[in-house]
Amino acid sequence: MDIADIATREYVEVDADERLSKVRSIFEHENPRGVIVTNDSQYDGVITQQQLLQSHVEDDAKAGAMTTSAPKIGLTDGIREVARMLVEGGTKLAPVFEDGDLWGIVTADAILEAVVENLEVLTVEQIYTDSIVTVTEDTHLGRAINLLRENGISRLPVVDDDGQLTGMVTTHDIVDVAVRNMSKATQGDRAGDIERVLDLPVYDEMSSPVITVELSDTVREAVETMFEYDYSGLVVTPTHDDSLPAGILTKTDVLRALTYTEEEHMDVQITNIDLLDTITRDEIRQSIEQVVQKYQRMSVQHAHVRFQKHREKLRGTPLIHCQIRLRTNRGQVAGSGEGYGAESGFRVALDKLERNVIEMKGIHSDEQYRGQLLRKLDEL
């Protein structure tokens, strides 16, 4: 199966000179997965809803100020390679080209819909993210926005004082309330109106009850639930206990699983790969392998490295946050750190990762993890 089977010509297009207020209106009324930005009728980039939330750009600014690059997909590219390109590009929408011309778009949802039946071989426990950022019901929306930005995530489980799950607040929820309040305000009132929105408690906008998925559920069941409720992710709970959040499963996690390979060396996936400056993918892989090889009883199936750029700079070099996450036979282990430039951030995260690996208890050999999954995925 290739992208020609699932790509579509149905997408929203705006000119780079269009005001951002128009783009916000498109997200509010048409609810697209993203928009394609053109400049003089030529493809320029994409804008997603999450970008709008994470920016401080005013409505009067032009769409071009918010445009980001997305991987250019060929109409005959394979699904697994495109899944990797979307994850590494940090996007759920990409333009599709044929003979150099913009043909249409492909979305993460279209890929998952095409392969959902194959996901029966995976359980949620095999691919979910066990680190979780939560808020309480009285957390202000302004604080929630900061947490979303700092962690590069799109949803926050809401818990009570006992850590029990009571709700969920997402990027979409916050954008929705901001748009509603901004549409009611006049131009002169907007600054104060924004402050009032940021001071609202999460409780006012969270979704409750929360739709959850259990560790023992299949990924197919989880994805079908996401489609049913139009969610991009679900809170993961222990089997037979839906009140205690154990992690998050997102569509991006599922896309990442589609890219697993049986190469001789460790499979390393990098999100926001365009931020690499003085370090290469191979150097990143080799560095992680050197750490892993010190602990031969640990079996690592997959490594994910995520870079996130902050606005702060030093002599023109941006502050980069790096997170390294390993999926092993004993669960997940991660390390994170910051530095000016991708290589510096990666080295700090790698040092933290090694310390966390040392602290893992009961590491032992287990070579029978990926066989059935990889054989099934190889059929795609």
* Per-residue pLDDT of the chain in tens (380 residues, 90 and over written 9): 779 999 988 888 999 999 988 988 888 788 776 789 999 888 999 987 767 765 667 778 899 988 888 899 999 999 989 999 999 888 889 999 999 889 999 999 999 999 999 999 999 998 999 888 999 999 999 899 888 877 778 899 999 988 999 999 988 787 767 656 555 554 455 455 666 778 899 999 899 999 999 999 999 999 999 999 988 899 999 988 888 899 999 999 999 988 876 555 677 889 998 899 899 999 999 999 888 887 766 777 789 999 998 889 999 999 999 999 998 877 788 999 999 999 999 999 999 999 888 887 554 444 444 555 555 566 56
Place of tokens 């998050």: 248
- Can you tell me the distance from the alpha carbon of 283 to that of 268, in angstroms, rounded to the nearest whole number? 11
Report yes or no on whether pTM surpasses 0.85. Answer: no
186 Cβ partners below 8 Å, 6+ apart? none
- Can you tell me the distance from the alpha carbon of 276 to that of 287, in angstroms, rounded to the nearest whole number? 15
Three-class DSSP category at 102: strand
Fold of 124-254: CBS-domain (3.10.580)
- Can you tell me the distance from the alpha carbon of 28 to that of 30, in angstroms, rounded to the nearest whole number? 6
- Note whether 124-254 and 263-377 share their fold: no
> What residue ranges do the domains of the chain occupy?
3-108, 124-254, 263-377
Bridge pairing between strands 93-98 and 101-107: antiparallel
The class level of CATH for 3-108 reads alpha beta
**83 and 62 in contact (C-beta within 8 Å)?**
no
Q: Write down the H helix ranges in the chain.
A: 20-29, 49-54, 79-89, 108-115, 124-127, 141-151, 171-184, 190-198, 219-229, 251-258, 281-293, 342-359, 371-377
Residue 278 Cα to chain centre, angstroms? 24
> 3.30.160.100, 3.40.50.280, 2.60.40.10, 2.20.25.90: which CATH number matches 263-377?
3.30.160.100
Q: How many helices (H) and strands (E) does the chain have?
A: 13, 16
**Total count of residues recorded for the chain:** 380
